[in-house]
Amino acid sequence: MDLGQIAQYCYNLTTSYLRIENATSVISETQDAIKLTRRCFLDDIFPTWSPLNSEISFSYNGGKDCQALLLLYLSCIWEFFLLTLEHSLYDPKYHAFPLKELPTVFIDHEQTFSTLEEFVATSSKRYCLSLYESGRDNERDTSMADAFKKYLEVHPEMKAFVIGIRHTDPYAANLKAIQRTDANWPDFVRLQPFLHWKLANVWSFLIYSNEPICGLYGLGLTSIGSINNTLPNPHLKVDQDDKPNLMFQWEIEHAFSDSKDASGEAVNVSTVNAADLKLLNQPQDRYLPGWYLTDDSLERAGRIKKE
Ligand code: FAD
Ligand code: MG
Ligand code: MG
CA distance 123 to 57: 16
Question: What is the residue with the minimal CA distance to atom 1 of ligand 1?
Answer: 165
Indicate whether 115 and 244 sit together in one domain: no
CB under 8 Å to 238, separation ≥6 — which residues?
244, 286, 287, 288
pLDDT computed for residue 284 by the predictor: 83
CA distances from 278 to 234, 238, 272, 283 (A): 18, 19, 10, 9
216 lines ligand 1 (CB under 6 A): no
* Nearest protein CA to atom 40 of ligand 1, as residue: 181
CB of 163 shorter than 6 A to ligand 1: yes
As a whole number of angstroms, the distance between CA 150 and CA 187 comes to 12
pLDDT of residue 117: 95
> What is residue 87's predicted lDDT score, i.e. its pLDDT?
76
Residue 18 lies in a domain: yes
Regarding an ipTM greater than 0.95, the answer is yes
Determine what percent of the chain is predicted with pLDDT higher than 90: 80
Domain assignment of residue 196, yes or no: no
Which H or E run includes 57?
A: strand 56-59
Q: What is the pTM of this model?
A: 0.96
Average of per-residue pLDDT across 165-187: 97
Residue 146 CB-half CA count within 13 A: 8
CA 78/CA 279 separation, integer angstroms:
40
Averaged pLDDT, 185-191: 98
Indicate if 123 and 238 belong to the same structural domain. Answer: no
Ligand 1 site, residue 165, Cβ cutoff 6 A: yes
Domain that holds residue 92: 3-135+145-191
Residues 154-182, mean pLDDT to the nearest whole number: 97
Query: Domain end: 157, 191, 225, which one?
Result: 191
Q: Is the CB of 184 under 6 A from ligand 1?
A: no
What rounded mean pLDDT belongs to the chain? 93
| Ligand 1 atom at shortest distance from the alpha carbon of 182 | 28
- pLDDT of residue 219 exceeding 60, the answer is yes
Give Cβ neighbours of residue 245 (< 8 Å, ≥ 6 apart): none
Terminal CA-to-CA distance of the chain, rounded, Å?
A: 45
158 and 278 together in one domain: no
Q: Which helix (H) or strand (E) holds 287?
A: strand 286-287
197 within a domain of the structure (yes/no): no
Whether 98 and 35 map to the same domain: the answer is: yes
| 298 within 8 A of 235, measured Cβ to Cβ | yes
Whether residue 307 has pLDDT greater than 60: no
Same domain for 53 and 186, yes or no, is: yes
Give yes or no for a contact between 34 and 127, defined as CB atoms under 8 angstroms apart: no
Instruction: Give a yes or no: residue 36 inside a domain.
Output: yes
Taken as a whole, the chain contains a residue count of 307
Whether ligand 1 lies within 6 angstroms of the CB of 65 is answered as: yes
**Is the CB of residue 198 below 6 angstroms from any atom belonging to ligand 1?**
no
- In terms of average pLDDT, the best of 27-36, 226-235, 275-284 is 27-36
The predicted pLDDT at position 47 comes to 95
In a domain, 204, yes or no: no
pLDDT, position 136? 60
Band of the pLDDT at 241, cuts 50, 70, 90? confident
**Is residue 58 within a helix (H) or strand (E), and if so which, with residue range?**
strand 56-59
**What H or E segment, with its residue span, contains residue 76?**
helix 64-84
Is residue 140 situated within a structural domain? no
* C-alpha 165 to ligand 1 mean position (Å): 7
Q: What is the distance between the alpha carbons of residues 78 and 72, in angstroms, rounded to a whole number?
A: 10
Whether 286 has a pLDDT exceeding 80, the answer reads yes
> Can you give the pLDDT at residue 281?
81
Structure-model confidence comparison of residues 265 and 50, the more confident one: 50
- 54 with 154, same domain? yes
| Total domains present in the chain | 2
Beta pairing, strands 286-287 & 102-107: unpaired
Q: What is the CATH number of the domain that holds 25?
A: 3.40.50.620
Kind and range of the H or E element at 276?
helix 274-280
> Dihedrals φ, ψ of 45, to 5°?
-95, -55
One domain for residues 123 and 216: no
Alpha-carbon distance 221 to 237, whole Å? 11
Q: Note whether 60 and 176 are same-domain residues.
A: yes
Verify that 289 and 157 share a domain, yes or no: no
Q: Are residues 187 and 284 in the same domain?
A: no
> Identity (one letter) of the amino acid at 222?
T
- Residue-wise pLDDT tens digits, 110-146: 889 999 999 999 999 999 999 998 866 555 667 899 9
Per-residue pLDDT, averaged over 157-165, amounts to: 97
Which residues in 126-243 belong to E strands, given as ranges? 129-134, 160-162, 178-180, 189-191, 237-238
Note whether 180 and 45 are same-domain residues. yes
In a domain, 280, yes or no: yes
* 27-81 pLDDT per residue, tens: 999 999 999 999 999 999 999 999 998 899 999 999 999 999 999 999 999 999 9
Q: Of the candidates 157, 168, 150, which has an alpha carbon nearest to the alpha carbon of residue 223?
A: 168
pLDDT over threshold 80, residue 263: no
